[in-house]
């Protein structure tokens, strides 16, 4: 649950949302992505009202990546991308889908069903699906969850590339080091409130980790069990 949260994310920046389980990170992301409706308050994405009539216009401008693939296992890689490209009204959907399959190293497996792909390949296709319509804003909900080291490294490289393309990125993560490495700015959510935030370049991973646990101790009286593990 979120309470009294006020947050502004500037265009082209990459924000890492840190916080323990139940802090409200995913809820915030789902509200920003128009998947959930807040009970009160105002939410604007690109100046559009995320709570009402502008939802469809917002959806055309955002992409969402989660630890779930959002892909149909029974369809091939090409069929998945073509289906979503057409749903988004992408001009030359076939060309765009095939271009992305080449770009993400999946061209050789384009006509294989996604259910036969490794986790890393599925994650690459997930990212390709999310950027099919060239969204201005990308929401990433704990995208590294369940990935093996090789797939994590690949995703990190892709994340850096997306950052370089001038998109606005909002990523939730449990990992302080990951948040600091991949973000321009960081924010800590604890107990549904925005507890702290700042620029990533101003802190070392050790300093941010210290701040993180300090915030959690203030919010909960003590750090959650196993939080330092």
Partner 1 sequence: MSGGGTSRSPAAGGSYLGGALRIAGKDLRLEMRRLTGLTSMLVLAIAIVLAFAFCFGLPTLRRLGPERLVPGVLWISLLFSSLSGLRGAFASERERETLTALVLCPIDPSAIYLGKLFSNLVVVGTLEAILLPLTAVLFGWDLASALPAVALVVFLHTLGFVALGTLFSAMVTRLRQGEALLAILMLPLSVPLIISAGKATAVAIALAPLTEVRFWLGLTAAFDALTLAASLLLFGFLVEE
Work out whether 45 is an interface residue with partner 1 (CB under 8 A): yes
> What one-character DSSP code corresponds to residue 223?
P
Residue 190 CB, nearest distance to partner 1 (Å)?
A: 21
Residues 106-145 that bind partner 1 (CB under 8 A): 129, 133-137
**Cα separations (Å) of 99 from 45, 176, 203?**
29, 34, 39
What radius of gyration, in Å, describes the C-alpha atoms of the chain?
18
Residue 12 CB, nearest distance to partner 1 (Å)?
A: 4
Work out whether 66 is an interface residue with partner 1 (CB under 8 A): yes
Residue 3-32 contact track with partner 1, rule CB under 8 A, x = bound: ----xxxxxx-----------------x-x
- Cβ atoms < 10 Å from Cβ of 10: 9
Residue 74 CB, nearest distance to partner 1 (Å)?
A: 5
**Of 43-51, 184-192, 204-212, 219-227, which segment contacts partner 1 by CB under 8 A?**
43-51
Residue 226 CB, nearest distance to partner 1 (Å)?
A: 27
Length of the chain counted residue by residue:
229
Residue 182 CB, nearest distance to partner 1 (Å)?
A: 15
Work out whether 189 is an interface residue with partner 1 (CB under 8 A): no
Residue 71 phi/psi, 5-degree rounding, is -120, 155
Work out whether 35 is an interface residue with partner 1 (CB under 8 A): yes
CA-to-CA distance for 97 and 80, rounded, in angstroms?
9
Query: Which C-beta is closer to partner 1: that of 144 or that of 211?
Result: 144
CA-to-CA distance for 121 and 155, rounded, in angstroms?
10
DSSP-derived pairing of the beta strands 168-173 and 185-190: unpaired
By CB under 8 A, the count of residues binding partner 1 is 53
CA-to-CA distance for 172 and 61, rounded, in angstroms?
19
Angle at 90 between CA 58 and CA 142, to 5 degrees: 55
CA-to-CA distance for 206 and 4, rounded, in angstroms?
29
Site residues, partner 1 (CB under 8 A): 7-12, 30, 32-37, 44-47, 56-57, 59-62, 64, 66, 68-75, 79, 83-84, 86-91, 129, 133-137, 165-168, 170
């Amino acid at each position: 649950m979120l309470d009294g949260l006020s947050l502004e994310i500037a265009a082209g920046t990459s924000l890492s949302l840190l916080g323990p389980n139940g802090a409200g990170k995913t809820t915030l992301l789902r509200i920003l992505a128009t998947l959930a409706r807040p009970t009160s308050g105002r939410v604007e994405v690109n100046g559009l009202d995320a709570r009402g009539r502008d939802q469809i216009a917002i959806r055309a401008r955002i992409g969402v990546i989660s630890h779930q693939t959002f892909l149909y296992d029974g369809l091939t890689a090409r069929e998945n991308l073509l289906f979503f490209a057409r749903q988004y009204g992408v001009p030359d959907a076939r060309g765009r889908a095939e271009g992305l399959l080449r770009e993400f190293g999946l061209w050789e497996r384009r006509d294989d069903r996604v259910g036969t792909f490794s986790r890393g390949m599925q994650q690459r296709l997930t990212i390709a699906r999310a950027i099919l319509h060239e969204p201005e804003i990308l929401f990433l909900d704990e995208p590294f969850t369940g990935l093996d080291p090789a797939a994590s490294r690949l995703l990190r490289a892709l994340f850096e590339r997306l950052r370089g393309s001038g998109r606005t990125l909002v990523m939730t993560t449990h990992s302080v080091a990951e948040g600091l490495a991949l973000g321009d700015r960081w924010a800590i959510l604890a107990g549904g409130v925005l507890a702290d935030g700042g620029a990533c370049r101003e802190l070392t991973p050790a300093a941010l980790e210290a701040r993180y646990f300090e915030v959690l101790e203030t919010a909960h009286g003590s750090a959650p069990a196993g939080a330092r593990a």
